[in-house]
Structure 1
Amino acid sequence: MRSIRNGLVLALGITMTTFGLAACGGDDGGAPAASDPNAKVELSLATFTEFGYEELIPEYERLHPNIKITHRKTGQGGPYHQDLITKLAAGSGLADVTAVEEGHLSNVLDKGSKFNDLTKIGPAEVSPDRWLGWKYDAAKTKDGKVIGYGTDIGPLAMCYRKDMLEAAGMPSDPEAVKPLFATWDSYFAAGEQYVAKTGGKAWFDSAAQNFNAMVNQLPTGYIGTDDKLAVETNQGIKDAWTKVTGAVAKGQSAKLTAFSNEWNSGFKQGAFATKVCPAWMLGVIEEHSGPENAGKWAVTAAFPGGGGNWGGSYLTVPTQSKHPKEAAELAAWLTAPEQQIKAFKAKGTFPSQVKALEDPALLSETDAYFGGAKIGQLFAEQAKKVAKPQYKGPGDGQIQENASSPALQAVEQGKSAAEGWTQLLDAAKKITR
């Protein structure tokens, strides 16, 4: 998911299918033979929504006169990744540098032999310490291959309506609200208080949005490290389900489906007081809340349970590429701290590189819509709170979209928590059958 400023929306519910086998380019991911540095090379780069590369591509071509880049950019991540799956199965058609969203990464890692190991073909100076440790490690296959250079991330904070909390007689200053958002227990307890003080107004937008963030904080998701369904045995998922559905039963949810028309208009109408807020969500909030609500929204450097990540992508080099070395060099350059700061300035994509997170250009970034909040510094702090990547097995994202989210929506529409849990399990088993 991308763009703090622009609010361009990627469908966060992700449909995943096990990738087929790629026939071209070999499977060993080894370094290619040395090539003539002056030979003309045409590279293709495939991305979706906003990566902030429009000005970077001609800059790279100026620095490398022998390289010509064709940028294939699509508007929505869902169709993009479906097309990626088709081309991977066909064994042809993938770009030399192919972006992959983190929610789809598990299925890509499952077919890691179809992507080059960037530690073998990438520039020698590109070391793991360029990135936050959890971002780098998430792109490793089980046998240790690194198949992606990290681009942006979605560190989690909490956004809320200052005016609505004030009207309920609750703290509203970004520092004063931190205790409300310290843990999920304190968050839902504050929600119960808010509902009581406002005569039944909703505390949050969607049960699924909170549940997804809670599940993303766990060491493993819906699939265990043995790549088998783990919903029934993962106590963290059960606990998250109990807390979220309990909050729904107490009237805390606005019962809106994320990214629906009703959800979009809910921002402007003040349909809920708080929002789980990865960095890219600021642009979404501003877009849908409208100028009349400028200054009413605030963001605080606090998130229940400490921290987490929701969103971000990687640049991969499929073994289909005829120019893997040159493709890896392009991917490395685009994910260097200097270029990621330029991308952030262009489109608000929040960088994952250590030096970028310490850059004054990022740390000084403020957002007038959110009362002049120092969003660069705030989200840099939140990014560093993430300890390690969650293990996501094949089908994890598909379970999120097609099992857990519909089950929670069913609970919001009247099903009992037990009935919803059964619906989740049945749907998850069908996906992983």
Structure 2
Amino acid sequence: MKQIRRRLAWIAAFVLLVLTAGCGPATPEKITLTLATFGQFGYEDLIPGYEFTHPGLTVRQVRTEQGGPYHQDLLAKLQNGGELADIQAVEEGHLADVLAQAGKFTDLAKVGPADVRPGRWLEWKYEAGRSKDGKLVGYGTDIGPLAMCYRKDLLEAAGLPTDPGSVKTMFATWDSYFQAGERYVKRSKGKAWFDSAAQNFNAMVNQLPVGYLNRDDRSTLETNTALRDAWNQVTTAVKQGQSAGLTAFADDGNNGLRVGAFATKVCPSWMLGVIEQQAGLGNAGKWAITDAFPNGGGNWGGSYLTVPASSPHAKEAAALAAWLTAPEQQLHAFRVSGNFPSQVDAFTSPDLLSEMNGYFGGALSGQVFVAQAQKVGKPQYKGPGDGKIQETVIAPALKSVEQGADPAAVWEQVLIGVRRVVP
């Protein structure tokens, strides 16, 4: 059934290509464009149609399976002068390091098609793709709007509400979320409320007006009281037994999903597929999702298409990147890969709004994440080193608290560790 659906989606996309893609720039000579991506972008079915409507143009997609090695290679080439593709995909977690080298990329606002306006995207998605000096470095592809996923059976056993409407009160703020977690731990005789302190803390930090770095790329940890408050809040929850102390996406975290080791999970749109795969068929219908997230909205994930300044065909590359990030193509990518679109016009698509997830009890997941995407505010500035602080300093520090270390003492070690990343 899934293969039939994919095939029908391709046919619909191809018809659309024939009708609309011909409006791109003329290609009087034979040109080959390289498109470097990672993971699943859902573009494989689209490329032949674009080539068909652009005689003389060939698109060669080079796909790396894992995002980690892909971005290590990209950043090494930027630093050492290696050969880049005509179009380079960049995941939002690595975007700060790319924006810090904006001079090595084409300004898409100048080179891209004139009819591609900022209003194509959610405002926060568009703005996050711009450098400090205003250059548009990337066209937005997908996003990861945040909702909260939870185990209905575990909440019910603890005497907590389970229907999506009622749980919104519990998930309204981080205060109410951790208060519910304290009740859950007591009523369930010590079972964990969430999987990982690092997962929750990362979401909390991303909601703040200022994160780990200010716009001068200096650490804010010693003066940013909101950061310290978030640290105190999540580590207090750890000391109450609310964290399962697992590592997301590692063996223990995946096993925790299978055995029901925790009751709630920070849940960007793409996490639904992760939960279904790792929790397994035996837990189908036990998980639910609601269009609520503590303190409003947030985003975790999503990518951009950039055009390096080294491309000899920057105008043609920008036209292809613009076309791939148009609402029609991003809806196709959603159908075949599950990547949630960032384009405003896509949010009124019947395909998106009628998307129903049987594993999560028939939840209208498309509507849930459209609502959550529209709650995200102004993008937080992320300077170079932001991701490294989270991955190499904060996450290990929170793991040590989960293993029994004193939060106040660990915070002092965090300050020392951040100074090594950002002198």
- The answer for the alignment partner of 1:277 in structure 2 is 267
Structure 2 spans left out of the alignment, 5+ residues:
1-24
Following superposition of structure 1 onto structure 2, how do residues 22-421 of structure 1 map, counting pairs within 5 Å? 37-421=27-411
Q: Find the aligned partners of 1:36 and 1:268 in 2 and give their Cα distance.
A: 53
Shift, 1:36, TM fit? 6.8
Task: Tell me, yes or no, if the aligned pair for 2:129 and 2:137 is still in contact at 8 Å.
Answer: yes
Amino acid at match of 2:357: D
Shift, 1:65, TM fit? 2.1
Q: Deviations over 1:272-318 (max 9, x none)?
A: 00000011110110010000100000000000001000111000000
- The answer for the alignment partner of 1:17 in structure 2 is none
- Match of 2:41, SS state, is coil
Q: Find the aligned partners of 1:380 and 1:371 in 2 and give their Cα distance.
A: 18
Task: Tell me, yes or no, if the aligned pair for 1:92 and 1:320 is still in contact at 8 Å.
Answer: no
Q: Deviations over 1:17-48 (max 9, x none)?
A: xxxxxxxxxxxxxxxxxx97221110000111
Q: Deviations over 1:4-28 (max 9, x none)?
A: xxxxxxxxxxxxxxxxxxxxxxxxx
Shift, 1:57, TM fit? 1.3
Task: Tell me, yes or no, if the aligned pair for 1:91 and 1:320 is still in contact at 8 Å.
Answer: no
Q: Identify if the C-alpha distance between structure 1 residues 201 and 95 changes in structure 2 by more than 3 Å, giving closer, same or farther.
A: same
- The answer for the alignment partner of 1:19 in structure 2 is none
Task: Tell me, yes or no, if the aligned pair for 2:152 and 2:162 is still in contact at 8 Å.
Answer: yes
- Match of 1:275, SS state, is strand
Q: Find the aligned partners of 1:78 and 1:220 in 2 and give their Cα distance.
A: 26
- Match of 1:372, SS state, is coil
- Match of 1:99, SS state, is strand
Task: Tell me, yes or no, if the aligned pair for 2:143 and 2:300 is still in contact at 8 Å.
Answer: yes
Q: Find the aligned partners of 1:419 and 1:304 in 2 and give their Cα distance.
A: 27
Amino acid at match of 1:395: G
Q: Find the aligned partners of 2:274 and 2:413 in 1 and give their Cα distance.
A: 30
Q: Find the aligned partners of 1:68 and 1:90 in 2 and give their Cα distance.
A: 28
- Match of 1:409, SS state, is helix
Point out 4+ residue stretches in structure 1 off by more than 6 angstroms: none
**Sequence identity percentage:** 63
- Match of 2:166, SS state, is coil
Q: Find the aligned partners of 1:240 and 1:63 in 2 and give their Cα distance.
A: 52
Task: Tell me, yes or no, if the aligned pair for 1:135 and 1:352 is still in contact at 8 Å.
Answer: yes
Give the aligned length: 399
Q: Deviations over 1:396-420 (max 9, x none)?
A: 0000000100000000011101122
Shift, 1:146, TM fit? 0.4
Q: Find the aligned partners of 2:348 and 2:413 in 1 and give their Cα distance.
A: 45
Q: Which moved more, 1:264-273 or 1:416-425?
A: 416-425
Task: Tell me, yes or no, if the aligned pair for 1:157 and 1:277 is still in contact at 8 Å.
Answer: yes
Q: Find the aligned partners of 2:296 and 2:124 in 1 and give their Cα distance.
A: 15
- In terms of fraction of residues, the more helix-rich structure is 2
Q: Deviations over 1:359-379 (max 9, x none)?
A: 111111110000110011110
Task: Tell me, yes or no, if the aligned pair for 2:76 and 2:82 is still in contact at 8 Å.
Answer: no
Structure 1 spans left out of the alignment, 5+ residues:
1-34
Q: Which moved more, 1:213-222 or 1:87-96?
A: 87-96
Shift, 1:91, TM fit? 2.1
TM-score for the superposition, normalised by structure 1: 0.91
Q: Deviations over 1:168-224 (max 9, x none)?
A: 111000111110000000000000000000100000000000000000101121011
Q: Find the aligned partners of 1:347 and 1:106 in 2 and give their Cα distance.
A: 25
Q: Find the aligned partners of 1:88 and 1:186 in 2 and give their Cα distance.
A: 44
Higher relative contact order (CA 8 A, sep 6+): 1
Q: Find the aligned partners of 1:356 and 1:408 in 2 and give their Cα distance.
A: 38
Task: Tell me, yes or no, if the aligned pair for 2:149 and 2:289 is still in contact at 8 Å.
Answer: yes
TM-score for the superposition, normalised by structure 2: 0.93
- Match of 1:273, SS state, is strand
Q: Find the aligned partners of 2:61 and 2:82 in 1 and give their Cα distance.
A: 17
- Match of 1:368, SS state, is coil
Task: Tell me, yes or no, if the aligned pair for 2:146 and 2:372 is still in contact at 8 Å.
Answer: yes
CA RMSD in angstroms comes to 1.0
